[in-house]
Amino acid sequence: MKSYNLLLIKIIQNIKPSVVSFVCISVLILMFPVFNVNAQTIDSKHFRLEKLAEGVYAAIHINGGYAICNAGIINLGEKTLIFDPFITPEAALDLRSAAETLFDNPITFVVNSHFHNDHIRGSQVFVPGTSIISTTTTREYISKNEPETIAAEKEYAPKRLAQLKAELHAEKDSVQRIKLIGWVGYFGALATSNSELKTQVPDITFEDKLILYGEERTAELIEFRKGHTESDLILYLPKEKIVFMGDLLFIDHHPWIGDGYPENLITTLNNIQLMDAGTFIPGHGNVGSKNDIVTMIDYIETIKLTARNLLNDGKSTKDINELQIPETYEDWFLSNFYKMNVKFMYESLKEKD
C-alpha cells in the first residue's frame, strides 16, 4: 500500500504541485478504493507489464523503445528480484519504479541471464543497494567485453542511427517500417545512453545452480553452458511453472546464434522442454509456451540444413546473399540475422568437415 499511496501522491503532484495539501491527498486516497495496483497503472514507453501469476510479472519490450530485451519482476516475499534489466539506464529506471510500485519490498537481486549488452546495462541503476547475480563465466565476459564494446559503440552507434533514420524516412512498406523502428530503437538506445554507461560487474556469481528462497516463492537460477553464449542462465519458478529464458528462447524473432553453439543449444532446448513448466518468457518476443521452444529448435535445424546443402552443392558464402528467408520466418523481427546465422552455421560445419 505504501508504494501505491506514493504513486498517487506523485500523480497528484504532477497535476498541481503547489496547491496539494496533506488533507487533499488523504481525501483522494480514500476516494480511490483500489488496493491492488494492476499492471495498467504503470506506463512506460519502453515496455508493457504482463502479470503471469500473483507476484510474477514479465516486462515485454515495446518496439522502438529503449528496453530491447524482456525483463521480469518477481516478488520473492520480503524481497524483489529483477531479471534482465534492459539495455539502457533510462528503461531500467522505469522498471525499477514499476517494481517499487508493485511490491513494497527492497529490490534485493538483479539477475543477468548472459553477457549481451541488452540484458545487462540497466544493472547500474540498482547499485548500490542491490546485488547483481550472474554465472561466473558471464561475469568474466561482462568484465572483459563491456569496456571495449561501450567504447566502440560510442563511435558507430550515432552513425548507424543516422543511416537507419534516413532509411525509415524513405521506407513506405508498413512491415519494413515496423522492423526499422525496432532498429532505430536499438541504435537510439546505444547512442543516447553511451555517455552515462559504466561497466557494472555482477557481485554474486555461481556455477550450475543457485536457489533463492523467499517467504512467497523460490526462484532457481540454472546455468546452461555453450548455448546462446558461452554461459546462459534461466530463472525457474517451480511453484508457478514459469521459466524466464533469457536469449535461450526467441519468439517471432530470428535468434542470434553467432556467439553460440547451435548444436548444443538444441540439446539444451530439448532438456528445458522436459521441465515441469508451462509458461516461457523469451529474451525477445511475447510470452509463450513449450510449442515456441519446438519452433526455435526447428529454426536452428532449418539453418543447419540450409548451410549443409550449400556446402554439399559446393556453394560459397557469397551465395548466402542470394538466399530468401523461408516463408515460416518471413514476418519475424530481426530478419537481418537470418543470413548471418546461415553464414555462421556454414563456417562452423565447414570447419568440422
Interface residue with Zn ion among 84, 90, 146, 247 (CB under 5 A) is 247
- With contacts defined by CB under 5 A, name the span among 43-51, 114-122, 233-241, 322-330 that binds Zn ion: 114-122
Amino acid at 56: V
- With contacts defined by CB under 5 A, name the span among 95-103, 154-162, 240-248, 309-317 that binds Zn ion: 240-248
The answer to whether 254 contacts Zn ion (rule: CB under 5 A) is no
Contact 104, 237 (CB under 8 A): no
Q: How far apart, in whole angstroms, are the C-alpha atoms of residue 285 and residue 68? A: 10
The answer to whether the bond into 33 is cis (omega within 30° of 0) is no
Give the nearer residue to Zn ion in terms of CB position, either 9 or 297: 297
> Whole-number minimum distance, CB 87 to Zn ion, in Å?
11
Q: What sections of the chain are H helices per DSSP? A: 2-15, 22-31, 89-102, 117-120, 136-170, 174-193, 262-273, 290-312, 337-352
DSSP state of 55: T
Q: Is 224 helix (H, G, I), strand (E, B) or coil?
A: strand
> Whole-number minimum distance, CB 306 to Zn ion, in Å?
22
Mark 193-232 with x for binding to Zn ion (rule: CB under 5 A) and - for no binding: ----------------------------------------
> Whole-number minimum distance, CB 118 to Zn ion, in Å?
7
- With contacts defined by CB under 5 A, name the span among 115-123, 141-149, 212-220, 307-315 that binds Zn ion: 115-123
- With contacts defined by CB under 5 A, name the span among 49-57, 216-224, 233-241, 243-251 that binds Zn ion: 243-251
Binders of Zn ion: how many residues, by CB under 5 A? 2
Q: How far apart, in whole angstroms, are the C-alpha atoms of residue 322 and residue 131? A: 48
Give the nearer residue to Zn ion in terms of CB position, either 69 or 74: 69
Residues 6+ apart with CB under 8 A from 330: none
Q: How far apart, in whole angstroms, are the C-alpha atoms of residue 116 and residue 122? A: 12
> Whole-number minimum distance, CB 284 to Zn ion, in Å?
8
145: Cα separation from own chain's centroid: 19
> Whole-number minimum distance, CB 341 to Zn ion, in Å?
13
Q: How far apart, in whole angstroms, are the C-alpha atoms of residue 296 and residue 227? A: 13
Interface residue with Zn ion among 116, 139, 217, 284 (CB under 5 A) is 116
> Whole-number minimum distance, CB 255 to Zn ion, in Å?
8
Give the nearer residue to Zn ion in terms of CB position, either 184 or 245: 245
- With contacts defined by CB under 5 A, name the span among 2-10, 50-58, 154-162, 246-254 that binds Zn ion: 246-254
CA distances from 82 to 56, 87, 212, 219, 314 (A): 10, 14, 13, 11, 48
Residues found near Zn ion in the complex (CB under 5 A):
116, 247
